[in-house]
Chains A and B, each alone.
Chain A
Amino acid sequence: MAVVTRGFTGRGRREVDLPPGQYLTDDFPVLSAGPTPRISLDEWRFEVADGDGTRQAWSWPELLALPSEEITTDIHCVTKWSKRGTHWRGVSLDTLLSGVDSDVGYVMAHSYGGYTTNLPMADVRDGKAWVAYEYEGEPLAPEHGGPARLLVPHLYFWKSAKWVRGLRLMATDEPGFWESAGYHMYGDPWREQRYWGD
């Protein structure tokens, strides 16, 4: 039962194809829990690891040498803003996970600075997720996750881990950083899965 708010008409018009509770913005707001880490490209690594240790790692030049894709997508932040038609360049996780068994159920993304976020393997395969390093034709800015961030645009944007440094394969789902602090384990914007229990 919604209460109608006296005197409120709503300026943003009814954007029918936005997920519930979202509004459009032309800005690119920033959501991070701490300072922006500064990562030198010489030291940058992206690793895919299982419980026993590293399986595979890429340096920055090795990442850039992989086939890249241009991605045009809407993005949806849990703090309510959505942004239309953003342009990215990055490497598909299908490429980076090609050596991994298909029976691994989940991954934990790890970032420089200590951030983590959990994702089902099915949501990072089949052309649904990338390691992105360009935004609107420019190198990705540090406050937006540069040098490289995950891009998983069909989920709330906190799942698109900034400053990503690798994926850890997991048999069972475990909460990452925001997921331990009250945010939803899966985070589907179309089902408005913002918080625990949504």
Chain B
Amino acid sequence: MTELATPTRRPLAWRVATVAAVREESVVARTLVLDVPDWPGHIAGQHVDVRLTAPDGYTAQRSYSLASAARASAGYAVSTVEILVQRIPRGEVSPWLCDIAMVGDQFEIRGPVGGYFVWEPSRPEPVLLVAGGSGIAPLMAMIRTRKEAGSRVPFRLIYSVRDPDTLIFGEELARRARDDHGLDVTIVYTRQTPPGWRRPPGRLDAVLLAEAGWPATLAPACYVCGPTGFVETVADLLVAAGHDPAAIRTERFGPTG
């Protein structure tokens, strides 16, 4: 547990974010492009706190990873950032972000937060990314940052989803797997695969992790993100496969596995 990125020591003020665009990324999740004047910039992997305010002054806060590249994303000014929100049924905040928010709506965010679950293009080691469900969000920021920074560090992404409907960023990942040199993408379907898929549905296991990941001897930097149970399982598998626990960084999004 070393090598912390050093964010600047400035108080994190609440800023007004205006929804600039919305992109549906699957049946269950959407990207919100947010216009945030004076956005200070971020490192791939960091998150923001979102605060929604009801007319009576009641507020609710939740954390969302920044999904956009650490630099300006193509086509948008530096003051825009993107978050990827998965709809949690009966949730308080995510249904508003997924179903009600539209272009022009405003709420508050503050950040960027977190200096550990981060990747910077200056790092030389190969990278293993393992995502479950919406855990793809901060890992997508790393994949996008790698491309924009022109990094040639080899990346392997293993992405576990329930079925084709819950695959987030499916098209972009397919395109990047083709165009981003040195990026390998492996999708794992746990319940139902697309027609003609080469592997029957099943959970990510040690065999698949060995096939689609990196051997521990290469000492890759590992980033694991998703629901708590998924992260626990994958981190344990990586340790059992000989990876240095200090090289495995985790971010746990939700209580359920």
Main secondary structure of the interface of A (DSSP, over half): loop
| Contact call A10/B92, Cβ cutoff below 8 A | yes
Verify if B100 is at the interface (C-beta below 8 Å from A). yes
Q: Which residue of B lies closest to A180 (CB)?
A: B4
| Contact call B63/A35, Cβ cutoff below 8 A | no
B61's partner among A14, A28, A34, A80 (CB-CB below 8 A) is A80
Residues of B within 8 A of A34 (CB): 1, 235, 245-246, 248-250
B113's partner among A11, A27, A143, A182 (CB-CB below 8 A) is A182
- Are A7 and B235 also in contact (CB < 8 A) when A14-B58, A23-B60 are? no
Of the candidate stretches B76-84, B101-109, B194-202, the one touching chain A is B101-109
Closest CB in chain B relative to A41 CB, distance in Å:
19
Q: 1/0 per residue A1-44: CB within 8 Å of B?
A: 01111111111101000000101010111111111110000000
| Docked complex Cα distance between A25 and B228 (Å) | 15
Residues of B within 8 A of A80 (CB): 49, 61-63
Closest CB in chain A relative to B89 CB, distance in Å:
12
Residues 149-178 of B contacting A (Cβ, < 8 Å):
none
The list of the 3 closest CB pairs from A to B, nearest first, reads A197-B11, A181-B115, A27-B255
Given contacts A8-B96, A195-B113, 12 further A-B contacts (CB under 8 A): A5-B52, A5-B96, A6-B100, A7-B105, A8-B60, A33-B116, A35-B236, A35-B239, A80-B62, A178-B116, A180-B4, A196-B9
Q: 28 pairs across A/B with beta carbons < 8 Å?
A: A3-B53, A4-B54, A5-B52, A5-B96, A8-B53, A8-B100, A8-B107, A9-B55, A10-B54, A11-B92, A12-B92, A21-B59, A27-B255, A29-B255, A31-B252, A32-B252, A34-B235, A35-B238, A36-B236, A80-B63, A113-B245, A114-B2, A181-B5, A181-B115, A182-B115, A196-B9, A197-B9, A198-B11
Chain A residues packing against B (C-beta within 8 Å): 2-12, 14, 21, 23, 25, 27-37, 79-80, 113-115, 143, 177-178, 180-182, 194-198
